């Protein structure tokens, strides 16, 4: 379970809080979607939960562990799929996966087997020994995902895992994530694909200006919103239609 | 340990996959060593083997100017071109056509003869050796001191000027001394064949470079150049290393590593092992160049006999110091635009401070003090200790301890900086 208490983040020199006094509980085995317009604070929230950013105030725990007290134990427990392709372009898919798997203490045949299984499930086993720089965007996304789940994390954070990929790759990724969730992995993911979130998530929270504006089971949110027939309409009703460009 | 090995293996793969980068990493230092040694060797040969054309304006036309001409010609360093006008010679030097013009003043020989004769006569009169009881007291004529003018091209380096001035000064002193001897000879005997004075130098000097066990060491230019420029090349490892680290930040792989249960020290450990090994391979290649290629190119052979293990010990610690600096730079820099120019300039500054360009003993006092903080100075001293002084391991411990301390401090600062910057 992830328990977030009054969590805030204000970047140096910024006039506003990217995440402001946020309270949230994400239960075990949930597929939780963090939705919101650009700059709403989704990536900032996930970055704090993954130890990439220091909160300005507030606290959180994951399975009752915190980075202050159980840093390595907590890191072993989680996985993160960053928005960028966090892979070495000149190494092969297999070499990348071997390296990142080793960082979680995996080794030998066990590591090889896991790599093989994941590559096969995501349709990449024939490209195992090709260098990443030769891969398409969709293939890189899938390798990016595998690099984060080799150690079977209890909690998996995904920051826009399906952005910029074709429908086939997107389906493969979503199916793989569902299978992971069935094997007890809690999934927290951000996305701009609201249809995808509606079908995939067991619960969602819509964030705007660093605060949660609504949260719940997608169907319940749709039902509760007047004249809304899908999650996108709920989203627009809650966050407005104004453009969110900022620099 | 497994994570350290995995990090090391990954670094090896990254290096091996970049064939161009790898070639540059190994070939450029070799090229640097060859070019620098050739340039320095040819400069030395230019001074000793080829003749520098200089101008000479002889207003004296006497024995002194003849003597100067002969001495300059005998030195084999100069090709003397005679000119009749001082102004013409001055303009040619000013234009940079010639590096030097020597102007011998009018009546130098006769005035010097007269001056010396008067002095000798005066001395002999004091001793009562002048002929006749009622000899006429010596009357001293009022001769103006003579000045040999040296015109130098404004672009001529100070070191060249100094050596030419010293040489001509010595030559003129010798001519003066010989003139004095000659005047005494003429006064004391009528027999020109009688040798009263032995005019050969009584004091001579011998160059001895003390050795430890096997007599004198005669270091050649390769013994001096290879350690200095090898060290320079080894420190250039900070460039590819820091760029490698900045690339990881830009690729996002560093972000992933930060979320992994692996310490920054382990990540740096992998880089340290690989890049220190690269330094050792670079060093081995440079020794091979010095031992085998230099003689083929007409350069002095590098003598490493009996000193290889100690040389590799020094190279190992110098490599560690360089890697430590690279790790620190790679940790702090955010872009390649920051790390590359800063790293390159820093290496040149450390080399200058360390005595790679100019020997430390000729530096001003303040710079000599400053040179003590350059790891290249420690490395160079250790290399010279082994190469030229035949020191034992115990004698290089202070230098390699400093190099290791530098590695430890820079790496710890890098780890501390990273922890502080990425604290959650």
Pick from B252, B259, B270, B423 the residue to mutate for testing the A interface (most A CBs within 10 Å).
B259
Alpha helices (H) along chain A: 42-49, 71-77, 93-102, 108-121, 137-149, 167-182, 194-200, 218-224, 231-239
CA torsion sign for B356, B358, B359, B365 is negative
- Report pLDDT for A216: 87
Q: What is the pLDDT of residue B220?
A: 65
pLDDT of residue A155: 93
- Mean pLDDT taken over chain B: 83
Low-confidence spans in chain A with pLDDT less than 50:
none
> Lowest-pLDDT range, A227-241, B19-33, B133-147, B169-183?
B133-147
Residue A210 token pair: 């660093």
Residue of B nearest to A56 (CA): B424
pLDDT over 90 percentage in chain B: 22
Say if CB B356 and CB B232 are below 8 A apart. yes
| A48 CB-near residues (< 8 Å, 6+ apart) | A7, A9, A19, A54, A55, A60, B424
Q: Are A204 and A216 in contact (CB under 8 A)?
A: yes
Other Cβ atoms closer than 10 A to B267: 25
Model pTM score: 0.78
* pLDDT tens sequence across B29-51: 888 888 887 777 665 555 555 67
Contact B255 A98 (CB under 8 A): no
Q: Is there a contact between A75 and B17 if contact means CB atoms under 8 Å apart?
A: no
For residue range B56-107, what is the model confidence (pLDDT) as tens digits?
999 988 888 888 888 888 877 788 899 888 999 998 888 888 888 999 998 8
**Looking up tokens 């040798």, which residue turns up?**
B195
The neighbouring-strand residues paired with A32 are A188, A203
Better-scored residue on pLDDT, B13 or B361: B13
**In 3D, which of B249, B421, B241 has the Cα closest to residue B340?**
B241
Structure tokens at B300: 């002095």
CA distances for A226 relative to A34, A229, A230, A237, B285, angstroms: 22, 9, 11, 9, 77
CB contact under 8 A, A95 and B258: no
Nearest CB to B259: which of A50, A54, A131?
A50
CB pair distance less than 8 Å for B252 and A89: no
**pLDDT score, position A214:** 86
Confidence of residue B297 (pLDDT cuts 50, 70, 90): confident
B249–chain A Cβ distance below 8 A for any pair: no
Residue B205 pLDDT greater than 90, yes or no: no
User: Does A82 contact B252 at a Cβ distance shorter than 8 Å?
Assistant: yes
How far apart CA A138 and CA A136 sit, in angstroms, is 5
Mean pLDDT in residue range B108-112 = 86
Quote the pLDDT of residue A91: 94
The residue among A179, A222, A190, A168 whose CA lies nearest residue A83 is A190
- A75/B257 touch (CB, cutoff 8 Å), yes or no: no
Instruction: Give the pLDDT confidence score for residue B424 in this predicted structure.
Output: 66
Q: Given its phi and psi angles, is residue A187 left (phi above 0), alpha (psi -120 to 50 degrees) or beta? A: beta
pLDDT for the residue numbered A247: 60
- Quick one: average pLDDT of B348-374? 83
pLDDT of residue A117: 92
CB B32 within 8 A of CB B233: yes
Residues of B in contact with A88 (CB under 8 A): 10, 14, 251, 253
Asked if the C-beta of B14 comes within 8 angstroms of chain A's C-beta atoms, the answer is yes
State the pLDDT at residue B407.
Answer: 96
The candidate with the shortest Cα–Cα distance to B386, out of B321, B320, B303, B323, is B303
Which residues of chain A make contact with B253, given a CB cutoff of 8 A?
86-88
């Amino acid at each position: 379970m992830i328990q977030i208490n009054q969590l805030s983040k204000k970047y140096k020199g910024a006039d506003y809080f990217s995440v402001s006094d946020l309270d949230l509980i994400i239960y075990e085995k949930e597929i939780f979607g963090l939705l919101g317009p650009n700059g709403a604070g989704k990536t900032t929230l996930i970055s704090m939960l993954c130890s990439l950013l220091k909160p300005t105030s507030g606290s959180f725990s994951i399975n009752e562990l915190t980075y202050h007290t159980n840093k390595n134990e907590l890191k072993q427990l989680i996985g993160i799929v960053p928005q960028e392709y966090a892979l070495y372009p000149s190494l092969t898919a297999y070499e990348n996966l071997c390296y990142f798997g080793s960082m979680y203490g995996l080794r030998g045949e066990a590591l090889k087997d896991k790599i093989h299984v994941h590559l096969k499930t995501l349709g990449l086993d024939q490209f195992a020994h090709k260098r990443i720089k030769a891969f398409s965007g969709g293939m890189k996304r899938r390798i990016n995902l595998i690099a984060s789940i080799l150690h079977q994390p209890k909690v998996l954070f995904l920051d826009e895992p399906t952005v910029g990929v074709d429908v086939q790759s997107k389906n493969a990724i979503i199916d793989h994530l569902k299978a992971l969730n069935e094997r007890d992995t809690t999934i927290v993911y951000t996305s701009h694909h609201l249809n995808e979130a509606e079908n995939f998530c067991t619960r969602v929270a819509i964030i705007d200006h660093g605060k949660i504006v609504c949260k719940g089971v997608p169907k319940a949110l749709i039902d509760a919103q007047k004249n809304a027939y899908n999650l996108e309409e709920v989203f627009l009703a809650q966050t407005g239609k104004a453009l969110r460009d900022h620099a | 340990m497994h994570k350290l090995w995995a990090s090391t293996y990954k670094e090896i793969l990254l290096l091996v996959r970049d064939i161009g980068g790898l070639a540059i990493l190994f070939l450029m230092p070799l090229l640097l060593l060859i070019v620098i040694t050739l340039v320095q060797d040819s400069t030395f040969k230019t001074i000793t083997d080829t003749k520098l054309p200089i101008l000479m304006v002889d207003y004296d036309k006497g024995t002194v100017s003849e003597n100067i001409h002969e001495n300059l010609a005998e030195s084999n360093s100069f090709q003397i071109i005679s000119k009749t006008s001082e102004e013409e010679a001055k303009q040619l030097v000013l234009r940079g056509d010639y590096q030097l013009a020597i102007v011998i003043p009018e009546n130098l020989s006769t005035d010097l003869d007269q001056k010396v004769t008067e002095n000798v006569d005066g001395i002999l009169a004091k001793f009562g050796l002048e002929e006749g009881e009622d000899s006429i007291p010596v009357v001293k004529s009022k001769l103006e001191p003579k000045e040999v003018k040296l015109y130098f091209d404004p672009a001529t380096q100070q070191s060249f000027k100094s050596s030419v001035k010293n040489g001509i000064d010595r030559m003129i002193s010798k001519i003066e001394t010989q003139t004095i001897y000659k005047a005494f000879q003429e006064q004391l005997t009528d027999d020109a064949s009688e040798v009263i004075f032995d005019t050969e130098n009584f004091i001579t000097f011998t160059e001895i470079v003390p050795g430890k066990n096997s007599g004198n060491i005669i270091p050649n230019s390769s013994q001096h150049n290879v350690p200095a420029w090898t060290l320079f090349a080894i420190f250039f490892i900070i460039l590819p290393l820091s760029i490698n680290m900045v690339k990881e930040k830009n690729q996002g792989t560093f972000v992933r590593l930060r979320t992994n249960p692996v310490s920054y020290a382990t990540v740096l450990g992998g880089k340290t092992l690989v890049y220190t090994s690269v330094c050792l391979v670079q060093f081995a290649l440079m020794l091979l160049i010095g031992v085998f290629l230099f003689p083929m190119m007409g350069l002095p052979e590098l003598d490493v006999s009996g000193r290889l293990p100690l040389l590799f010990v020094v190279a190992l610690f110098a490599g560690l110091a360089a890697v430590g600096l690279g790790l620190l730079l790679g940790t702090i820099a955010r872009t390649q635009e920051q790390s590359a120019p800063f790293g390159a300039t820093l290496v040149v500054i450390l080399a200058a401070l360390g005595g790679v360009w100019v020997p430390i003993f000729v530096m001003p006092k303040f710079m000599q003090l400053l040179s003590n903080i350059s790891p290249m100075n420690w490395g160079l001293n250790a290399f010279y200790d082994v190469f030229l002084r035949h020191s034992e391991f115990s004698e290089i411990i202070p230098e390699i301890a400093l190099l290791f301390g530098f590695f430890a401090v820079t790496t710890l600062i890098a780890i501390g900086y990273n922890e502080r910057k990425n604290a959650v």
